Amino acid sequence: MNVIEAIQSRRSTRAFLDSPVERKSIEELLTLATNAPSAINMQPWEIVVVSGEEKKRLSRILVKRMRERNISCGPGATRPLHPKFVNRQRELLNCILPRLSAGTRFEEFINEGSCNFYGAPTAMIITLDRAFSSARFTDIGIITGYLVLAAHEIGLGTCPIGLITAFEEEIMEELSLPQNRQVIIAIALGYPDPESPLNKARSGRAGLDEVVKWRE
């Protein structure tokens, strides 16, 4: 598949097979992803790969904390959102909701799923040295894009997860991360379950007239 095909066909995976991802495949993926550009080639990212019992333990801790603190996955907005953003969010809800098991609420699925990395066998925690300003979040965004597309190319599914930043203290303690690291985003990684209807869900994308402004 070429880059255009990967961009057009990739979906976020929210149902994974139990099969573990071989270390060789993860190394291949990270070798591809770390070709991503960064400001002045500083490559400010550090990626912690968590799998096996360590990943299961981390998931249990995050789900427990999420329930205790009643933290929910949201847009992170500081003021009311424009209706166009709300409508885009609602489109995803309407796409996923009919595919959930009977009695499962969307919020429950998204919140618990995020903290459990949607059952993926591997979680990648992308961190940034605190010496950098928030401007370097741009570099983290770029490598995340490279990573999810490269994973799709080699037959792996991914789902970027932002909710885990609410549990940075727990993640740093559980993974013994140094205090100079900042947790920016996580990526669930594994083999997509081809039978799950959740992996067939894909919401639409806004037209260029909504997201592009021309100045000539």
Structural domain contains residue 75: no
Q: Is the pLDDT of residue 94 over 70?
A: yes
pLDDT at 163 (0 to 100): 93
Q: Is the pLDDT of residue 77 over 70?
A: no
Structural domain contains residue 63: yes
pLDDT at 102 (0 to 100): 84
Q: What is the CATH number of the domain that holds 138?
A: 3.40.109.10
| Nearest residue to 11 (alpha-carbon basis) of 99, 127, 71, 131 | 99
Q: Is the pLDDT of residue 162 over 70?
A: yes
pLDDT at 89 (0 to 100): 86
Average pLDDT over residues 150-161: 97
Q: 126 lies in which domain range?
A: 11-70+82-202
Entry pTM? 0.92
**Domain count for the chain:** 1
Q: What percent of the chain has pLDDT over 90?
A: 78
| Nearest residue to 169 (alpha-carbon basis) of 58, 51, 83 | 58
Structural domain contains residue 101: yes
Helix axes 106-115, 83-96, angle to 10 degrees: 90
Q: Which two tokens stand for residue 109?
A: 């699925």
